[in-house]
Structure formats: C-alpha cells, structure tokens
Structure 1
Amino acid sequence: MRIVGGKLRHRIIKMTNLETTRETQDKVRQAIYNMIGPYFDGGVCLDLFAGSGAMGIEAYSRGMSAIHLNDLNNQALSICKENCSSLKIEDAIFTNLDYVDYVNQCKVKFDLIILDPPYMMDDIKDILNKVYYLLKDNGLIVFEMGINSIYPQEFNDLALIKDKTYGIKRVVVYRK
C-alpha cells in the first residue's frame, strides 16, 4: 500500500492484514482526497477506526497539520505507529479505545473526521451523533460504509456534499 498524494506521495506503508480491518484501496483513497481536497488546508484530522492509519496519513500528507489515529485493535494501532514512525510523522497521537469511549473522552475539535467502521456497525446515525460534537464549524466528515447502508441525507446542520460508490463501498462526505 502506498500514499497516493501530497508530500509523502509514493511512500509505502504497511497494511494490517487483519480480518477485522478493511483497508481503503489506493485508488479509492485518491478519489476521496480529490473530492475533499478543495475543502481543507491545514487543521487537525481524526481517523476514528484507523486500521493501518492510511486515511489519516494521507490527510497529513495532503496538508493536515496533525492526525489523531484511534483503533480498538492493538495490532492495528501498532501498525499505525510503525507507519508514522517510518514516515517520520511526529504530529500523530495514537489511542487504543472503543470509538464510544474515545468520543466521550476527547477534548479536541477536528477539521476532518474519517469514519470507516466495520460494516457490521450499521447504525450510521448513532455514529454521526457521537462524532458531531467533535467537528469544528466548516469541518468535514468522510464516512465509508457498505454500498447498501442507509444514511441520512441531512443530520443536524451537516450538509451532505458528496455521495460516491466504489465497488461494494459507499463514501459520503458531510460538511458542518
């Protein structure tokens, strides 16, 4: 797996190869960041279900000043740390918590929140409700889900600005 854009472009990162994680393919990551690129310049990113950290690292490569990588799986978080270390990313914070615990404990507001939960976690409104308060005004939420997932067109003051499908994956982008 490689970083597809920004200052770390073409750099190789490790994948988790775990049954519980699902890596976002390079071409899908590139399409996502091409979609949202015009909406951010700098800021802080949260990758709440980080896996290998590829999505958060891609955000850092493309201009985010800091990334927070969270994953409940110890092995996945270990890969996140290895990837950031090999890329010499110093502005990364790692947490090993269930997403509900993370959200309840978090004191930071984010410009970009990346959500790629296991597809079996299909309560999209509940997840959005929990992370909504961590999002800064004008911030973005990128939500990856199964293609048949049901998601809200409107949620609080979040505007749905993108909705794309890639194979069995749907990516929706909300802006506050």
Structure 2
Amino acid sequence: MRIIGGQYRRRLLDFSDGAGLRPTPDRVRETLFNWLGQDLPGWICLDLFAGSGALGFEAASRGADRVVMIERDLQAAGTLEKNRVVLGASQIDILRADALAWLANNRETFDLIFVDPPFDSGLAEAVLADLARHLKSGGYAYIEHGTHVVAPRGFIIHRSGRAGRSHFALLIKE
C-alpha cells in the first residue's frame, strides 16, 4: 500500500493480508481527499476499524494534528505500529480495541471519522447510529461498505461514489 499525498507521499507501507484486510484503493483515497481539500492542518481524526491504516496514515500525511486508529486484530495492530514507527508519525495513536466498545465509552470529538468496517459485516449501520456525538459541529464522516450509504439523522451526504462492490460517502454533520 502506498500513501498518495502529503509529507509521506509515495511511501510504501506493509499491511497484514492475513486478517482479510482490503485497503481503500488509491483512486478512492484520492477522490476522498479531493473532496476534503487535500490538506487537514490542525484536524483531529479517528480511524475506526483501521485495518491496513490506509485512511489514517493518509490523514496524518496530509497534516492532521492527531489520528487515533482503532484496531481489534492483534496482527493488524502490530503492523500499524510498525508502519507508524517507520514513518516517524508521532501524531498517530494506535489502540487495540473493539471499535464499537471503544466508541461507546469515548467522549472525545473529532473533525473527521473514517468508518470502513470489515466488508459486508453490517457494522457501519451500528456505528452510524451513534456517530453524531463523536463529531465536532460541521465535522465529516467517511463511510465505506458494501451497500448504498444512507445518511443517518443529523447528517447530509456531501459526496458519494462507488468502486467495484464498495459504496462510499462523505457525510457532514448538520
């Protein structure tokens, strides 16, 4: 997996394919960050279901002040930590936890939350139901999963697209 923009641009990172990970493709990440305006200076981001870390590492590369990555799988979390060290990305915090349990107990708010759970898991709907309280006013949520994205109450769909079987959307908190 390679980072496509920012200070870590063109850096190649390893990811554990044993955990069934499918990093967000370069083309989709490029589209997302075009929608967001390329750079994220001062932003606080949350990468739930971090997996390969493609979205979180990309946000850090583009100037986010802090990126919190949540990953349950031990092997995937270890690879995330290895990549964080290789990049020298001290603005990234990697937490090994269940995303839903962590979210239920968290009181912090974020400028941007990435929600890209395991494909066809149905976990996106569970997260979307409680996402508004974790975003700052005017904050963004990026959703990627196997079905058409429907904006939950309190959000509007800013942009959306599809790549293969994956549907993705950038939501704005009203």
The alignment's TM-score, normalised by the length of structure 2, stands at 0.91
Q: Deviations over 1:102-135 (max 9, x none)?
A: 1022232110100110122225432201222111
Query: Which residues of 2 match residues 108-123 of structure 1 at below 5 A?
Result: 108-122=108-122
Structure 1 distance, partners of 2:18, 2:145, is: 18
Q: Tell me how far apart the structure 2 counterparts of residues 150 and 170 of structure 1 sit (CA, whole Å).
A: 6
Superposed CA RMSD: 1.7
What's the CA shift string for 1:55-79, capped at 9, x where partnerless? 1010111121110001110111111
Displaced runs of 4+ in structure 1, greater than 3 A?
Answer: 38-41
User: Are the structure 2 counterparts of residues 52 and 125 from structure 1 closer, same or farther at C-alpha, using a change threshold of 3 Å?
Assistant: closer
- Of 128, 153, 158, which aligns to 1:161? 158
User: How far apart are residue 167 of structure 1 and its match?
Assistant: 1.6
TM-superposed CA distance for 1:145, in Å, is: 0.9
Give the aligned partner of residue 142 of structure 1.
Answer: 142
Distance 1:141 1:109, change over 3 A: same
Letter in 2 for 1:163: S
2:50–2:56 CA contact under 8 A, matched in 1 = yes
CA shift for structure 1 position 92: 1.4
How far does residue 20 in structure 1 lie from its aligned partner after superposition?
Answer: 2.8
Aligned length: 173
Please state how far the C-alpha of 1:52 moved relative to its aligned partner: 1.9
Which residue number corresponds to residue 49 of structure 2? 49
1:2 shift after superposition? 0.9
Partner of 1:91: 91
TM-superposed CA distance for 1:98, in Å, is 1.2
> 2:18: which partner in 1?
18
Q: Is the 8 A contact 1:124 1:151 kept in 2?
A: no
- Within 1, Cα distance between the matches of 2:11 and 2:40? 22
Q: 2:69 & 2:140 partners in 1: Cα distance?
A: 16
Compute the displacement of 1:174 (Å).
0.4
Q: Aligned equivalents of 1:156 and 1:48: distance in 2? A: 20
Is the Cα–Cα contact under 8 Å of residues 114 and 141 in structure 2 kept in the other structure? yes
Q: Is the 8 A contact 1:111 1:140 kept in 2?
A: yes
SS for the counterpart of 1:34 is helix
Cα distance in 2, alignment partners of residues 15 and 169 from structure 1: 20
CA distance in 1, matches of 2:34, 2:170: 12
Q: Contact 1:125–1:151 at 8 Å: present in 2 too? A: no
Decide whether the 8 Å contact of 1:16 with 1:76 is kept in 2. Answer: yes
Distance 2:39 2:83 in 1: 26
Gaps of 5+ in 2: none
